[in-house]
Amino acid sequence: MVLLELDPFLNELTKLYENTKKSGTVWVTLKRSTLQRQKKRKKPEETPAQAAEAPEFRCLVRATDGKKKISCSLTAKDHQRFQTSYATVLKAHMDSLKKKEKNKKSSAAKAQAS
């Protein structure tokens, strides 16, 4: 998995959506993370100074189409800019979604049951 900066991540995400336009799926996940290895379960007694230091949480964004995996780490400052750019990418690639078929029998049966 490749950890990219914000703008290259969005460019690669756009390419993933374009490659799967005819058929395929892109999965995007967001996860809160400190990007540090987890400490052992048994913790020694912490001093008050150590307890006061809170780790800086980041947002880990991952995307995959099943073949290629990309990821990006966001700070709180970058999150708003990422959300607007990500929304633009999603809106640009929503045109290939299929419309849901409505079943006339089930809606008529529900109307009669009420």
Q: Which CATH number fits domain 1-36+55-82: 3.40.50.1100, 3.30.70.980, 3.30.720.10, 3.30.565.10?
A: 3.30.720.10
Side-chain half-sphere CA neighbours of 107 within 13 A: 4
Cα distances (Å, whole numbers) of residue 28 to 62, 78, 79, 90, 94: 6, 18, 15, 11, 14
Residue 52, pLDDT > 60, answer no
Closest CA to 74 of 37, 12, 31, 42: 31
Q: Please tell me the predicted confidence (pLDDT) of residue 56.
A: 84
Q: Which residue ranges make up each domain of the chain? A: 1-36+55-82
Mean pLDDT of the chain: 83
Q: Please tell me the predicted confidence (pLDDT) of residue 49.
A: 62
In this structure, what DSSP letter does residue 103 have? -
Q: Are 19 and 65 in contact (CB under 8 A)?
A: yes
Q: Express as a percent the part of the chain with pLDDT over 90.
A: 50
